[in-house]
Amino acid sequence: MQGAGYPGSGGGGGAAACPGAGASAHSARAHASADAPSHPDAVRTAGGRGRHGGVVLAAGGGTATAAALARGLGLPSAQARAFAATAAQARVRGPRAGEDDLAAAMTALQGGACLLTLVGPGGVGKTRLAVAVAAALAREGDLPARVWVVDLAPVRDPDLLVPAVARALGLRADAAPPTVDAMAARLAGRRALLLDTVERVAAPAGALAAALLAACPGLRVLATGRVALRVRGERVQPVDPLPVPPPDPLPDPAELARCPAVRLLVARARDARPGFRLSDDNAAAVAAICRRLDGLPLALELAAAHLATLPPEVLLARLARPLDLLVDGPRDLPIRHRALRDAIVWGYDALDPDARALFRRLATVADGATAEDLRALDTAGGAEAASADLPAALAMLAAHHLVRRRDDGAGGAPHYGLLATTRDYALERAVGGGEAGPDPRVVADTGPARR
């Protein structure tokens, strides 16, 4: 299975490889442009932590994207034209506000979706994309609408979800239990409600979203999380890591600069060191960094900060242990996004014991495994692993975007594997639990993500 690769893992021939000069749509997705003015009156952030304060809110995308959104919202022609003209000039700073991701979300809205959930692994940019979509809903001044953004990351107890959302909407939740009718009245005239980071309270969040949609005609609910809400009418849009450069042949610097993962890394490196540039001398190392980090935006941004003091070749060598290096992220980010390990732990902690055991066992397979391979690993792994319900554990890992499926393996059987950065954490847990040998990274370093 050598060299198989998974999307975003840097393997050869997969969907994760940059398509070269034809990657204009992906390049737009990773484009980091000049800041656009924010509109705090149009997009209301709630949740008590102000976590979107550093994100520039704007419509993003081009006229075709904005026109698709306008049609999906059923705007009159005059408003639609004004909205498209405004949106065409806007940008959102960050790796996940480009036209291709926005277009996918707006196509869902155009198709009549009232509930759109953006799902993907931690650090992939779901919140940033959702804020861009929400801002697109509220940007045009003629729209009689506002958008509420509610941060659910602090909410762990399902019974506290409704009070938390009610407080975020400005309702008192201490005197009497808040009702759906009261929240619906508060949302009257709003264009959208964004429920951010729903994975710890997905079941009650789904029930609340369904109730609010039933009570508020014309409302759109956007949600972000590592899992879907799994309610009727939900449209799920996966958000994947950025495409990475192929290992061979290496594109020339001009072509390499159009690769989305490279574009993001270089842009953030210039934030840290304005004189940084992509050149013939450092192109191979820059490309290898992007592959090593799976094209994951959070990992790329944390790594770029080190380019202020380290040449790319030195940084690449230090990324043999990325979880120890990629720490101390921006202070205005949530704690779980200030270090790569914390972002992975957030998802691991949500798993049940069987899924955690399978996650650790997967770390010992460098290039992924079929279901039959995993069954053999379970049998060899002893009582804990053998007792696991393999289909259910695998389904949970997939639902939480901690395992990735590849359907082009030998014999047609699907293969399941981990992103390289996720696998580093799984190896730590496997070694700590005695489920892997003392030097599992010797095996890991032969995989395609280490090239």
According to the CATH classification, is domain 351-450 in 1.10.10.10?
Answer: yes
- Which residue do the tokens 């043999």 mark? 320
Average pLDDT, the chain: 74
CATH 3.40.50 segments of the chain = 24-238
Instruction: Identify the pLDDT of residue 289.
Output: 97
| Res 97 pLDDT > 70 | no
Nearest to 356 by CA among 401, 400, 398, 397: 397
| Res 219 pLDDT > 90 | no
CATH 1.10.10.10 segments of the chain = 351-450
Contact indicator for 35, 56 with CB cutoff of 8 Å? yes
Region 246-269: mean pLDDT is: 92
pTM of the model: 0.74
Contact indicator for 6, 16 with CB cutoff of 8 Å? yes
- Which residue do the tokens 């460098």 mark? 366
Region 258-283: mean pLDDT is: 95
Contact indicator for 174, 227 with CB cutoff of 8 Å? no
Contact indicator for 204, 230 with CB cutoff of 8 Å? no
* Banded model confidence at residue 397, pLDDT cuts 50, 70, 90: very high
Nearest to 338 by CA among 302, 294, 300, 306: 302
For 14, half-sphere exposure in the C-beta direction (CA atoms, 13 angstrom radius) is 26
Please, what CATH class does the domain formed by 24-238 belong to?
alpha beta
Instruction: Identify the pLDDT of residue 256.
Output: 94
Residues 187-208 have pLDDT tens digits of 887 778 999 999 999 999 999 9
Question: Which of these ranges, 1-10, 181-190, 399-408, has the smallest mean pLDDT?
Answer: 1-10
